[in-house]
């Protein structure tokens, strides 16, 4: 009697074994397992739902179209640690916005904020494809049916849980009666149907930088740090610290420029102040300071202590590199380094790394796809939840 032939293949792998495999993969490879077959797709979806851990990795470069373009809403993720291998391309689904095109404003915690050409703001997760439309922004003293154009000054948002995003916007517009008006508002994506004004009596907010650390918003101008506690929308507490910015010498006549950014370090609860000084590509200097609440001063840092910092478009993010798995040739660039993406012309950005201890820098050999020109590049860490 002939024996019955038993089918055996990748699709027949036990779910318990596949879970062990997933635990050894970085997120982008983790997600590629969904493309093998239907059974793997279901297992990976269940693993994401149950928050099965994956191997941490350094942020990838997210290459974005330069402006609104209904034909170029295709975004590319590039891993700089794997010989510029293009990991994945994705598109914001057309049904996820109103109008003809979108423009990505910033990235936080694996989510993108974008604006469509009707000035409607959205939050989008490229991995899970979740999309949230933000409430219409309220304008004080405006009764005209043709409201003025809103000028975003600073936008920040932070992820608190799988379905909880806190969004804070400082914006301005010109009113015929009162002139230039600035507002500071916030909302939580999962709960709020409208925005909450942080101070309804104040219409002259001029914060140049903001960062969210927990429920606290740190908002900065030239000589003051204002800390708003947003945990209870009905009772928003405020603390103002008179803190002049550290003196950083800039040779403007010699063509030197500087950009200032706030960054949060959630691992140790620190707020950092980062200056990016550059004179073309020849000279790069990146002084970093931490906020010391006890002395109410900015303290200069000479060591990031197992952390790396990523800079792009005036925005900074800090990550711990303790558990990151990177290729051997990339090891010396893992700790105490600052990765940057800068623009010096109308072409693609320059990607480099600054070594804080040695105070030296080098450009990374990033080969952008030939089909991509004049792109913007943000540092992006995908998050499936």
Whether 255 is covered by a domain: the verdict is no
Whether 28 is covered by a domain: the verdict is yes
Instruction: Specify the pLDDT at position 162.
Output: 47
Whether 37 is covered by a domain: the verdict is yes
Contact indicator for 206, 183 with CB cutoff of 8 Å:
no
Which residue in 116, 119, 118, 117 sits closest to 131, CA to CA?
A: 116
Whether 82 is covered by a domain: the verdict is no
Q: Which residues contact 74 (CB under 8 A, 6 or more apart)?
A: 65, 89, 90, 91
Instruction: Specify the pLDDT at position 227.
Output: 92
In angstroms and rounded to an integer, the radius of gyration of the C-alpha atoms of the chain is 23
Question: Running along the chain, 385 residues long, what does each successive block of 10 average in pLDDT?
Answer: 55 74 75 78 76 75 66 69 63 69 79 81 81 78 52 65 72 67 81 81 71 88 87 87 83 74 85 87 86 90 88 81 67 78 75 88 80 77 73
Total of domains in the chain:
1
Distance of CA 36 to the CA centre of its chain: 30
Whether 70 is covered by a domain: the verdict is no
Whether 20 is covered by a domain: the verdict is yes
Q: Which range of residues forms the domain containing residue 33?
A: 13-49
Taking CB atoms within 8 Å and a gap of at least 24, the contacts of 217-226 are: 217/156, 217/168, 217/186, 218/262, 218/271, 218/291, 219/154, 219/170, 219/184, 220/262, 220/273, 225/291
Which residue in 277, 385, 329 sits closest to 80, CA to CA?
A: 329
Instruction: Specify the pLDDT at position 142.
Output: 46
Whether 30 is covered by a domain: the verdict is yes
Whether 45 is covered by a domain: the verdict is yes
Instruction: Specify the pLDDT at position 86.
Output: 56
HSE-up of residue 339 (Cα within 13 Å, Cβ side): 27
pTM assigned to the model: 0.82
Instruction: Specify the pLDDT at position 68.
Output: 47
The Cα 111–Cα 106 span in angstroms is 9
């Amino acid at each position: 009697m002939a024996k019955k032939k038993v089918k055996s293949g990748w699709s027949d792998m036990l779910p318990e074994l596949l879970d062990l495999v997933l635990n050894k993969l970085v997120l982008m490879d983790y997600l590629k397992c969904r493309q093998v077959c239907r059974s793997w797709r279901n297992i990976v979806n269940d693993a994401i739902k149950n928050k099965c851990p994956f191997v941490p990795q350094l942020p990838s470069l997210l290459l974005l179209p330069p402006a609104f373009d209904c034909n170029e809403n295709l975004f590319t993720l590039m891993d700089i640690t794997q010989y510029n291998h293009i990991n994945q391309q994705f598109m914001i689904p057309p049904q996820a916005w109103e109008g003809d095109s979108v423009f990505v404003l910033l990235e936080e915690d694996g989510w993108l904020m974008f604006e469509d050409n009707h000035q409607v703001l959205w939050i989008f997760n490229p991995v899970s494809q979740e999309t949230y439309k933000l409430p219409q922004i309220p304008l004080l003293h405006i009764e005209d049916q043709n409201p003025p154009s809103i000028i975003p000054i600073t936008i920040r948002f932070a992820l608190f849980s799988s379905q909880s995003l806190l969004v804070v916007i400082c914006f301005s517009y010109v009113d015929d009666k009162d002139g230039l008006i600035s507002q500071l508002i916030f909302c939580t994506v999962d709960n709020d149907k409208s925005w909450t004004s942080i101070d309804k009596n104040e219409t002259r907010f001029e914060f140049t930088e903001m960062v969210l650390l927990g429920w606290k918003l740190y908002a900065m101008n030239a000589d003051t740090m204002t800390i708003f506690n947003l945990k209870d929308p009905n009772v928003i507490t405020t603390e103002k610290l008179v803190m002049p910015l550290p003196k950083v010498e800039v040779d403007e006549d010699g063509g030197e420029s500087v950009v200032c950014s706030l960054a949060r370090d959630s691992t140790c609860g620190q707020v950092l102040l980062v200056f990016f000084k550059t004179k073309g590509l020849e000279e790069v200097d990146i002084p970093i300071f931490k906020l010391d609440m006890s002395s109410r001063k900015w303290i200069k840092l000479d060591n990031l202590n197992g952390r790396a910092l990523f800079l792009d478009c005036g925005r900074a993010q800090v990550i711990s590199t303790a558990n990151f798995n990177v290729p051997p040739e990339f090891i010396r660039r893992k700790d105490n380094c600052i990765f940057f993406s800068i623009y010096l012309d109308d072409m693609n950005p320059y990607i480099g790394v600054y070594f804080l201890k040695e105070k030296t820098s080098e450009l990374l050999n990033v080969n952008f796809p030939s089909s991509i020109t004049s792109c913007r590049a943000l540092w992006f860490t995908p998050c499936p939840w």
